[in-house]
A and B are shown apart, each in its own frame.
Chain A
Amino acid sequence: METAASSAAIPAGVDPVFAALHRFNRGQYDACISLCTALLGENPYDQAVWCLKCRAMTMQAFIDDLDFEEEATADALLDENATAALPRPGTSLTRPMTQSNAPGQPGLGMRPVSASGRPLSGFARPGTGSARPDSRVGLSGAPAGIRPGTSRPMTALGRLVRLGTASLVAAAGGPFINVDRLDLRKYAQRPALSRALFEYLLYFEHSPKKALELAAHCTAAAGYEDWWWKERLGKCYYQLGLYREAERQYAASVKTQPMVASYLQLANVSLRLDQPKAALLIYKQGAERYPHDTALLLGVARVHEALGELPLAVESYKRVAGMDPSNVEAIACIAANHFYSGQPELALRFYRRLLQMGIRNTELWCNLGLCCFHSSQYDMALSCLERALFLASDDAMADVWYNIGQVAIGIGDLGLAYQALKVAISADSNHAEAYTNLGVLELRKGNVEAARANFRTAQTHAPQMYEPFYNGALLAYNLGEFQEAFELAQKARDAFPDHTDTLELLGQLNQQLRL
């Protein structure tokens, strides 16, 4: 209620509508809304104030929905839009290229993959961590989130629903607009009000059905010539899960007036339909029309990265960084690529730039530490990792400890490595990488059974990693259990078809089993 009190103190002689508009322009939406509420109490039929309040409430609840977002579990499980059950490699997000075509670029052996089998990105954004249920994880594994046990999955419609419920609580004294009693046809005749109302319905009420109805009336009233209404129609259809209709509307909108937002959303539809090549085409069309827009170029880079076409992705990221040198995503991804292609010194420079830009978080310090370590600056490496630990939250803690273990293995302090990996597992009991390395350490200590158990845990938690399978296979081979070794080696080959050691082991096993 403090905001209401302070907003009530309008300096003498200032028009109250001016004051409200002034608050709106400064982004003080609470103050603006309370001023508008007071004004509407005096004159409920003031269209200008109504429109302003509508807009302020929309801005409060606004979410930039142009980014590709996490797919909700229910959507993913009930998705009927998949076009091919077994797409060719490189044409689907579920089957990225597993081998790098360009010489000198890191293959899967160097660069780890995410749970969905795509190469790990340098930047955590919504959608990168989610595994499509039809890729590897079955129906049973799908609702478990990225890291089972540590994160909960997205509910249907993602963040929209939750924010919607929270905003309703805030609106004391009943909702501002009684949506059910609106005569949408009447509003369609008033272009200014209809736009404000539409945004309110979509972003504040989260009622895409009602918004769709309004948009349909309005686009008809505008003679099907307004790109904005078409784009909004597409937005409604997209939120309702009608991707084909959304695609048609976005395409029509782009035809009327090419806007960056429309391109981005059109590409999102393609991505949702698992057609990355089509999305790439759309991004590139947009980038041709508006060559200075970084969002489109980032889209190109993200799709290339998800498909495993890393050289193309990096090229696009570099263009983004050239146009916008403070783009964190581009810098982080270039750095990650340098790191995984064996140039930690270069990666270090990029990460240092991020540090200079004022980013301080666990992940950055951890990456800095690793870069320092791999470029032989051991003293700095440990102090960076210490800082990472200092800043780490619970979910990042395990990764930091895992990396400390990695560094310890590198400097030969196996005792420290063992303890660090144990701590990593205690922080996150599903940390498959830590289990794998712990297994190797156990094997060195001669604890064959413990090593096997660790490998097996890693295998169940991260079926996308080939290391635990290969290690398990090698161990089984050395124990003389050829059947198990053969099965595990085959799984390792599925995860990483070009792993030379796996192929060699399989060859030996084939020979042995034939005898």
Chain B
Amino acid sequence: MSLFRAKEWWSASVGEADEVITAAVGNFDNEPEPALLKLATGSLSGKLRVYRPRQRGYSLEDLLLEAALELPVLQLAAGRLTADSTKLTLAVLHPRALSVYRLVGSGGGSDDGPSYHALECIFSHALERPSYNLLVGTASGSGDFACVQSMDGLLTLLEKERAQPPCQLSKFLLPGPLTYCANTDALLTFNSQLEVDCYRRAHFAPSPASTHPRLQVDWSVPVGEHVTALLVARLSRGMAASQVDIVVVAERLLLYIKENGSIRNQKRLDYSACCAAAHSVDGSSQQRLVVGGRTGAVMVYSDMELLWAARLPGPPATLGVHRFGQQPGLLLSLLYDGTTTLSYLGTTPPPPGAVGAAESKQLNYEAMDAEHRRLLGVIREASTTRPEPAGGISLRAEVPLRCDERGSGEGAEELPALTVRLMAAHSGVAPADDVSMVASCAPPLFLAADHIVLPPLIAGDPPAAVPLVFRARPDELPVDLSATVVVNYSAGGELRCASCELRLPLRLVADPVEPLKTSGFRLTIETNRPPLPLGGLFEDMVVDAASAAAEGAALSIVYGCGLDATVLASKKERGRYRVCSSRFEGLWLLTDELVRRLRAHGEGEAGASDGGFAVWYEDSLPLREYFEAIDDHLASRRALVDAKAELEQRARQLRAVEKRLLVRLKDRVPAPIASLEALLEGSHHQLLELAHRAEEHQAQLRFHAARVSAGTRLLLLLLRLKFRLGDEEARLLEAHLSPLTSFSEEASDGWEERTAAALTHLLHHGLKKRGTGAEPSASPSQGAQAPLAMPADAAKVKKSITLVCDRLNKGSRPGKGGAQAAAPGSWEPPGKEAG
């Protein structure tokens, strides 16, 4: 669709593709005025056609002659090759002969010229070798001559109907293009060594010594590429009148050579050239060059500057610029597909509609508006959060109250195991595929297999039962008995998920024992109901039926790690329960369990008149014990960091000693070891010892982390009971005073500094004193806090916790009431990230 196309002026289809290979132009019938040019084409099947294009468009009268020569026509050329050097003749090259014809017109006599043309053979010269190409040159002084190159490099010169004995080209392998430079009276050709060779015509003398004398090369220029066309023309600017350029058109190179064989100028072509022609311009001694490319492009160069580029319908085999009829400067092209075209260069504006900007269709604004509205509706529907489609997998967990029988699991599994049966039922329309189940729980609890792939579920089928086996490591204090199960699946191409929270029984981590008399840490929970018999409340924890009778007032358990805890119910009217343990952290799990069971029991009995069942805590908060746990935790962290630093130092020392020792051992002239080996051994022992110590510290840290976690949970529970916090308030408080003491090997993610920062934030934003009113929001200095670092002591976090308790005591509550002043979006509880 380029604007720059060659416009057709005259065109004729002259034969089959790949058959017509040559064309020549000349006034072959030697017509007097007006001496119109004729166009002759020849084909490999021996057809010779002569046309006389006179005006735009092809007409039948344009074809003057069509002759079958019975021999393939390899090349046509126009030249004055007969003895009568005034008459133009047509030279036809056949594989084994060169024939020269004259075009004779007869009859007619009107303005159209002769009405009938005939071809008359003047002479024919048989060739002994198969020919390749033909050159007709005009030597200054002696008239035209013809030169035939054979396939094996023999050049035969014909002058005035007389052939000279052939001469052999030197450096010959494959024949190449041939041209003649009249200025130096030399023939130029391209040889297979990728060079352009120049041969003087004077050297074509017959030699008595051999039948085919070898020609001497005058000069040769390496081109380095396959040359497709050779011409002689005056193209360069500023040349003397006597000078010419030898134009070499190679595959991707345009080269002008001087007559003496030195390179005048060159230019890389960014297309692949296949043919070329030179033509003169009126009123200028400088000629122009037309180069055809394999893509069908035609480039017109003046010197080496591109003047015009146009596109032909196909790649040309022959190009030329001639005057036909009264029209000068027509571009003759013989295309590969066998059409001969005379065309001119120019542009005409493209038809309307070809260029987008020119289109003038009426815009239908109503339709566009309707489409816009429809699309907006689609977008809105897609961007609003749709409710979860009804139907899908629902999960239900069957948690047994007691552990499995010991030894029921495979192998000699010593740990108590608990098998939870998870029932997954599907109720959607589409079947649920790719169902995978993931379960998780907090250490020291663990699962035998936490990732299970289920077969596809179909609605209406009985629910799939999946056994999940939970176990508890005995070496750690458990603090969290909850577990989560998540099921991912795809239903009808949509990814969905379902989740289920479950609480594992206390029995998994603790064993009931005979009631103990412990006088350690204790706290008292109060209710507004008479005390319940503990045997009923903890029926799964009863040791056996015999002791069940004695139950009712006291119940003791022992955790897997050996820690004990006891719950005592008061004998009086008011429902008071005392939980005690020999250690502070042992209180938590039992207290939690107790409060849960009391609540469950209280809510079970309906129809209470006094505002329902209530549980509360009256005593002072066990902050002192809690702070001790925090101190221990921090000290343990510090010890671990120190141990690691020392370990690193020792390791470096060991490497240094090792290196030195190696250098001594590898040395050609060994120096005395000088008890380095003792040093190495000592360092190694030290390193091992330190590593063991670091491991111990890690275990210590894990132990204290569990303590702090248990203490924090207990404190949160007690705060909730003491100040009667609502669910939302309790959640917010937990988010800031996080019980998640994520234990990491590096001990870098410190709970103390994190909690201190979170509580400071809570005190500033969410838990202000009542009545102080709205402070200016987030002061900028808050954002630029220094990165958290391990504090020297736990004073800050302790102070913050005390302050929080104090504020709660004074009646302020976290959440909406206090958080009004903070920016709505920025109230992100920092403690949440700890998970």
Contacts and interface: CB of A to CB of B under 8 A. Distances in A.
A18 B151 contact: yes
B151 to A, nearest CB: 6
A220 interface: no
A28 B272 CA distance: 13
B534 interface: no
A257 B173 CA distance: 25
Contacts of B356: 365, 383-384, 386-387
Interface stretch (B6-14, B187-195, B503-511): B187-195
B193 A419 contact: no
Interface residues of B, number: 64
B312 to A, nearest CB: 13
B268 A55 contact: no
B305 A48 contact: no
B4 interface: yes
Interface stretch (B210-218, B624-632, B722-730, B780-788): B780-788
Interface stretch (A92-100, A181-189, A479-487): A479-487
A479 B317 CA distance: 73
Contacts of A355: 355
Interface in B752-801: 778-780, 782-784
Contacts of A479: 783, 826
Contacts of A292: 265, 267, 303-305
A356 B2 contact: yes
B308 to A, nearest CB: 8
Interface in B135-168: 151-152
Contacts of A64: 252
A25 interface: yes
A150 B191 CA distance: 49
A331 to B, nearest CB: 13
Contact of A195 (B18, B194, B268, B780): B194
A228 interface: yes
A1 interface: no
B405 interface: no
Interface stretch (B83-91, B222-230, B582-590): B222-230
Contacts of A387: 356
Contacts of B779: 480
Nearest to B5: A358
B180 interface: no
Given A26-B274, A192-B191, A292-B305, A380 B357 contact: yes
Where chain A touches its partner, the secondary structure class is helix
B285 interface: no
Given A47-B173, A259-B224, A482-B783, A11 B44 contact: yes
Given A14-B95, A26-B274, A295-B270, A481 B784 contact: yes
Q: Select the residue from B21, B304, B825 with max chain A CB neighbours within 10 A.
A: B304
A295 B2 CA distance: 24
B781 to A, nearest CB: 8
Interface string A10-41: 01111101100110011110000000000000
A360 B1 contact: yes
B294 interface: yes
A57 B783 CA distance: 71
B229 to A, nearest CB: 10
Contacts of A28: 18
Contacts of A293: 266-268, 304
Contacts of A419: 379
B258 to A, nearest CB: 14
B306 A260 contact: no
Given A192-B192, A292-B305, A358-B3, A261 B174 contact: no
B185 interface: no
Contacts of B174: 21, 48, 51-52, 192
Interface string A478-497: 01111100000000000000
Contact of A294 (B173, B263, B267): B267
Contacts of B825: 448-449
Contacts of B1: 358, 360
B171 interface: yes
A54 to B, nearest CB: 10
Nearest to A295: B268
A228 B132 contact: no
28 contacts: A15-B95, A15-B130, A18-B132, A22-B21, A47-B173, A66-B268, A191-B171, A195-B192, A226-B222, A227-B222, A257-B222, A261-B268, A264-B268, A290-B265, A323-B306, A326-B306, A356-B3, A356-B4, A358-B2, A358-B3, A365-B356, A383-B356, A384-B357, A448-B825, A449-B825, A480-B779, A481-B783, A513-B784
Cβ-closest 9 pairs across A and B: A358-B2, A292-B304, A480-B783, A192-B192, A15-B130, A356-B3, A11-B44, A295-B268, A192-B173
Given A22-B21, A380-B357, A483-B783, 20 more contacts: A11-B72, A13-B95, A14-B72, A18-B95, A21-B174, A21-B175, A26-B336, A52-B174, A195-B194, A196-B192, A228-B222, A257-B263, A260-B267, A261-B268, A292-B305, A294-B267, A326-B309, A355-B355, A358-B3, A387-B356
